């Protein structure tokens, strides 16, 4: 079913590449198929078209987490805590 929905979204995008809704729906289909890199690209496009949409931000955060791109470990204290945890398990 996600494949069929994805094909439909891509047909919509052929007609109107500036459709926030079509890009967001395309990303949701790609997430269901576990195509996270493709979903991230679709979400980034949707985010550019609809800057203040919280659903896109939430989905983008989820996809980034699945791709291990979450910003949690970007903070020095999180890197320190996580490295101490890893070292305690060795």
Q: Tell me, what DSSP letter sits at residue 72?
A: G
Show the domains of the chain with their CATH numbers. 2-89 (1.25.40.10)
Q: What global pTM score does this model have?
A: 0.72
List, for residues 60-76, the tens digit of each pLDDT value.
989 988 888 655 555 55
> What is the tens place of the pLDDT at every residue in 12-37?
899 999 999 999 999 999 999 999 99
Q: Write 52-60 long-range contacts (CB < 8 A, 24+).
A: 53/20, 53/24, 55/24, 56/24, 56/27, 59/24, 59/27, 59/28, 59/31
């Amino acid at each position: 079913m996600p494949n069929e929905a994805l094909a439909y979204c891509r047909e919509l995008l052929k007609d109107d590449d500036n459709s926030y809704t079509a890009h967001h729906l395309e990303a949701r289909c790609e997430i269901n198929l576990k195509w996270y890199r493709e979903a991230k690209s679709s979400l980034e496009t949707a985010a550019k078209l609809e800057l203040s949409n919280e659903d896109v931000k939430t989905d983008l955060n989820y996809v980034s987490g699945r791709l291990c791109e979450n910003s949690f470990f970007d903070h020095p204290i999180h890197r320190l805590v996580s490295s101490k945890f890893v070292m305690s398990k060795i």
